[in-house]
Amino acid sequence: MDRARKNPHAVGLGRLGGKIGGPARAAKLTAEERTESARKAGAANSVLRTSAALWEEQLDGVIPGSIRFF
């Protein structure tokens, strides 16, 4: 069996669980908890973009061609 291929049935079940679980979790959270979760996600995204920009700046001219992380 080729390990690189995913079982389509397992993929479907995982997707189904995600589609059910996400909204169910959101319904349980209070407005304050949702706000805090969104704040943390935004901060993490900001850190990732900043670190990617710093890497781009440091690699500028070292490797020929343009490397884009985001």
Per-residue pLDDT for the chain (70 aa), expressed as one digit of tens each?
456 788 888 888 888 887 888 888 889 999 999 999 999 988 888 888 887 777 777 666 565 555 555 5
H or E stretch including 9?
helix 8-28
Length of the chain: 70
As given in the structure block, the two tokens for residue 64 are 């020929």
User: Distance (Å, rounded) from C-alpha 6 to C-alpha 70?
Assistant: 27
Quote the pTM value: 0.48
Please report, as a single letter, which amino acid is at residue 33.
E
Q: Is there a contact between 69 and 55 (Cβ–Cβ < 8 Å)?
A: yes
